[in-house]
Structure 1
Amino acid sequence: MAREDIAREQEELAAMRTKGWNAGILRAVALWAVGLSSSAWAEVKLNPIFTDGAVLQQDANVPVWGKAREGEKVTVQFDGQSATSTAKDGKWMVHFKPHKAGGPFVLTVAGEENTITLKNVLVGEVWVCSGQSNMQFALEFDANASTEASTANYPKLRTFNVRRKNSVQPLAEVEGKWMECTPASSIYFTAVGYYFGRDLHKATGVPVGLIHSSWGATSAQAWTSLDGLEKEQKLHRYAEEAKKLAANFEQASATYPSELADYQEKLKKWEVEVGAAYKETLKSWTAENQKLKLEGKPVIPQPKPVQPRPTMPLSPDGWPNNPTVLFNGMIAPLIPYAIKGVIWYQGEGNAGQSQEYRTLFPRLIADWREKWGQGDFPFLFVQVAPFQNLPPEIREAQLLSWQKTPNTAMVVITDVGNATDIHPRQKEPVGARLALAARTLAYGEKIEYSGPVFDAIKIDGDRAVLSFKHLGSGLLAKDGDLQGFTIAGADKKFIAAKAEIKGDTVVVSSEKVRVPVAVRYGWENVPHVNLFNKEGLPASPFRTDAD
């Protein structure tokens, strides 16, 4: 019986109660409905991340899993491969051997009472796209949206947009479906993910699947598991906060419905209906010759103070920034889906805790790798863009995280930021640079994927000579003389400096600093900088006196 039929039966039973049916008859009918309900739930189920149009990871052992009645035998077939599992604790899982890129294929799941058939399944490269609002930012709002979307006909580029969900406990399932990239659907792709996937698809020639799981204005601790936080002493306060929230879940769940109903009732009383004449018309009356009439009768406007909006009760699952809740609700259910790697755009939400982020972010990366159990997969991330409220220390924390964490890459976007908008609309360079990093780290291409990165400082008299990694074809000052360098002596008072490219180095000096000690580059919230390599990739801001 379908769920709709079960719901209808339950409604009919409720109606029977109100009509005063014989209790014995009612009990018999109820038992009959429960039996049908149990039968319906006994059908084998496939985890919701597997839908028509799914993309599976090539050249990897691919797990497929779902639910079934205890002890039920489940057989899964895919392009000539067949695997069988027996449900234990209501769950089943099979693994397919590595498969080359291709498709479309059909995947079938057969239980003892029903069969599920998925069509148009591809095998290619699967990447998780996660973070906060700049990853959530849809192609629809990109600076080049209209032109790009009109030609975005890539049937082998697909996305699974995970519905936003926070939870105090790890969930087993997510909501969403796989969607092909067409001119109509492309606007719903994460813009960064779209440009990344488009370039990767063109470079590799294979299908690309993007599992998009992000939530705006969120912090890294929300995307880290409880176990992951507990493994680092410096992060134990977040682990304790998560455990306290989980411990209060049962009580909060019991009282939340009544609290929410009370809030909604108060909200109705708080709302004030505004007359149609208010919009785009006179809103105050100050001149002596002005009069206000309603239905022909004089009206004297009276001020009415606006009362504070009622406070919405906290959900039992907390806010999306509570530690662990987004890992539990939006990452844990994806595991162990076979993936190639992760692209990540976040950091704004932790800008006020830059020092802590040096520990938290690498711990998040390690946590995801541990939970997925697929080795140190590539983890590629974006250094936050210039913005008036983002201090340079958060970019430094990201730079240090890259330098200390194996098989990671960071892309710099100092050239596409907006001082007054935390969501720069030029997402194409962001996605394109992530794709360059993937082609190097994940696919072994010998190409430069990063701009210059500070390596060492050497003091030569009254000059500081800086050397760099990721030189590419050489250093370049874009649009004139080098900008953004400051220099200091022992007093650590940094002043604007002259900087020149000398071969593979940058020489920095100032007539006001006779014995330089340290140099900084782009060390401000909105850096005005122009050091690139000849591949067109910008240098990361840095300071030689980092603590």
Structure 2
Amino acid sequence: MRAPFNRLFHVVVCGVLILSTAALAEPLRLPTIFGDHMVLQRDLPVVLWGWAQPGQSVQISMASQNKSVKADAQGQWRAQLAPLQTSPVGTMLTVKTNDRTIEFSDVLVGEVWLCSGQSNMEWRVSQSDGAEQEIANADCPLIRHIEIDHVMRPEPQDDVASKKGWEVCSPKTVPSFTAAGYFFGRELFDQLDVPIGLVNSCWGGSNIEAFTSLEGFKQVPSLSEYVSRIEGSQPDNPTYKKVVTETMVAAQQWLIQTEQALETGQRVTLPPALPKGVLPLMDWADPANKHNAMINGLVPYRIRGSIWYQGESNHAEGMLYVDKTRALVRGWRQAWAQPELPYYYVQIAPYVYGEEDPEILATFWEAQEAIEKEIPHTGMVVIHDVGNLRDIHPRNKKPVGRRLALQALNKTYGKDVVCGGPQFARLRLEGETLRVRFTRTGRGLVTSDGKAPDWFEIAGENGVFVPAQARIEGTSVMLSHGGIKKPSAMRYAWSKMAEPNLRNKEGFPVSPFRAGEIPERALVDGLVKQAKAYSLVYSTDIGAAGTTQKTAAYRVDRAHEIGSFDRVAYFLVLKKSDEPLQYVWVSMDPFVAQAAKLGIPTTDTDVTFRQWVGQMTVQSNVPGVVSGEGIKGYIEFWPNNYNAINSDSVENASDEAF
């Protein structure tokens, strides 16, 4: 009986092996981004790729070009066609092997743009102002649109998902198109008269980190924590293996202890859990997971550039957003192997954001404007005039898309068009008046309502900003206030509620900005002699910002401008009504390497920070605060009610006051 059983066993196993091997032989397939009605990028080499059986020959033909390549040992293949000329007439792209043929019909050649971001990019034509008329006028078959499905993955994927695939623009299809993207594409089509392809890969509520690749984070040192988080969650990472192994050992010990507890009638404890750091990055706010599933699989499908409408989910981060954008853009440019890939983006609109400090959004606008200045081949559009303070989704998307298109027409296509509003150039004191000079004024400075420029504020020696009297003089705005004889600083539209009226005659608004010497800089230099050797990085009014904000509202945030440093100082000033000014200056050896980590800590970090610092210098006029040099100091921050025990034996620290 044994021999027949063995023979039967071998036959079954052999059959399984044959079936498994056959399953590995994948038939010819291309990524989802390739489909009927697609638009290929003109004037650039066309890259095609996909999967077939290992070693199988793949033939590609289009527009009199023929290519033949072989799939590698993993069944992957890649081919490149010579650059194609503009073609508004649909043609056929054929890809075949000896056992399968795939034909893509109605393929156009023109300009292809990636449209990405969060809900304001996702906002559909049907939801926008004037939707009925725009839909009726959308018979434009040379505009094509593909919407990428919402997916998150912890590792980069080699394909994306799209239920609809490429769609031809018509009154029937356009209602679901990205509105900002459609109006962008429509303006490009009207001006360039070539087919336009829009790749819509966005997801409402997303932060910028989710659309940023690991490779992008690696290129920005200040964002190394994201590199650690991503790599630490990958199974082939040494840290991952170490943490999982340690958890396994702890779990085995727990099993032993639990068995003993059950035998002796003792209470059992909870088992050790895997630390969050090794779990897949599938939470909504985790980095890279949307890039992995919604961007990575598009590469290397040729595109001309990208447009981006996002920021609401990051609006409380100030200048940190500049570095995060730098990571996003560098990652995309590396992925597409296009180091000058254009990136045009929208400065988010004014919005109430509940009870949040009005200046938090203003500092974010400042960061968004800095992107255009610091990252080459980018451009920002301002939309303070099209928003709704009570609706985070401005419905007037047509000027948004048009302004993005004008950025591209000017900077990418070399058209002689005005593509933005006036920009601050310099500030000069003339008697008791501040002259604010602008560039990019086009045909001149005007106001939208014909009244004097509004939302300008100036400050004098006391550092208090008050509304300024403003008037236009050529390419300048002159600012004054009867109660300020020597104004030293100004700011414009510095509030989440600001809907200012200054613009150029072409209709482009001025972005919020601030300039001048912050009065407290002069104050600290006057009180503390050594302060002149330090650069001002952060400045904030704690009284105005309060203590319950999730982030600090900085008057000054220059962390992104600071490189290495060898000393750190904090200066605190307290001014009570009718009482002398009190101050404390504390300088020390640096306790972090990045200036971005020197700001005010918040409870959102959920981190307990305790750190000894060396060579501390204290200078103060407050009774009871001892001044001195060469002091060993201690810094601590708790995101909750902290333990009163002085566990680190800090000299002169109290266990009673906490």
Residue 496 (structure 1) aligned with residue 481 (structure 2) = no
Over 6 Å off, 4+ runs: 22-29, 248-251
Correspondence for 1:440: 410
1:228 aligns with 2:246: no
Counterparts of 1:210 and 1:228, CA distance in 2? 23
Partner of 1:127: 113
- 3-state SS in 1 of match to 2:319: helix
Structure 2 CA distance for aligned equivalents of residues 90 and 463 of structure 1? 72
Superposed CA offset, 1:192-244 (max 9, x none): 00100111111100000001111111111111111221222211112222223
Aligned to 1:63: 47
User: 1:459-474 alignment to 2 at 5 Å?
Assistant: 459-474=429-444
Partner of 2:203: 215
Are the equivalent residues in 1 in contact too, given 2:439–2:475 (CA < 8 A)? no
Greater displacement, 354-363 / 162-171:
354-363
What is the TM-score normalised by the length of structure 2? 0.68
How many Å apart are 1:151 and its aligned residue?
1.6
State the shift of 1:366 in Å: 1.9
Q: Is 2:368 aligned against 1:398?
A: yes
Instruction: Give the equivalent residue in structure 2 for 1:336.
Output: 300
Q: Quick check: 1:540 aligned with 2:511?
A: yes
Q: Residue in 2 aligned with 1:190? A: 178
Amino acid at match of 2:86: A
Number of aligned positions between the proteins: 465
**Secondary structure of the structure 2 residue equivalent to 1:168:** coil
Aligned AA for 2:228? E
Q: Which runs of 5+ in 2 are unaligned?
A: 1-7, 242-275, 354-359, 517-555, 559-658
Taking only the aligned residue pairs, the percentage that are identical comes to 36
CA contact (8 A) 1:483 1:528 kept: no
- Residues 512-531 of structure 1: pairs in structure 2 closer than 5 A: 512-531=483-502
Which one-letter code corresponds to 1:77 in the other structure?
S
**What residue number does 2:65 align with?**
81
CA-to-aligned-CA distance 1:410-448 (integer Å, 9 cap, x gap):
000000111111111111110010011111011100110
Q: 2:81 aligns with which of 85, 96, 111?
A: 96
Given that residues 386 and 396 in structure 2 are in contact (C-alpha distance below 8 angstroms), is that contact kept between their aligned partners in structure 1? yes
CA contact (8 A) 1:239 1:323 kept: no
Among candidates 216, 222, 229, match of residue 241 of structure 1: 229
Secondary structure of 1:321's aligned partner: coil
SS in 1 for 2:425: strand
Please tell me the root mean square deviation across aligned C-alpha atoms, in Å.
Answer: 2.3
Query: Secondary structure of 1:501's partner?
Result: strand
CA distance in 1, matches of 2:487, 2:281: 54
- Determine the structure 2 residue equivalent to 1:147: 133
Partner of 2:35: 51
1:252-331 counterparts in 2 under 5 A? 316-331=280-295
SS at match of 1:506: strand
1:78–1:419 Cα change, 3 Å: same
- Matching of residue 475 in structure 1 with residue 461 in structure 2: no
Gaps of 5+ in 1: 1-21, 252-312
User: 2:220, 2:326 within 8 Å by CA — same for their partners in 1?
Assistant: no
* Deviation readout 1:163-215 (Å, 9 max, x if unpaired): 11111111100012111111011011101001001111111000000011111
Other structure's SS at 1:386 match: coil
Separation in 2 of the partners of 1:384 and 1:113? 52
Taking the aligned partners of 2:334 and 2:485, their CA distance within structure 1 comes to: 51
- Which of 385, 388, 392 aligns to 1:415? It is 385
1:151-162 equivalences under 5 Å are 151-162=137-148
Alpha-carbon contact 2:233-2:279 (below 8 Å) kept? no
| Structure 1 residue 65: Cα displacement | 0.7
Greater Cα offset, 51-60 or 234-243 = 234-243
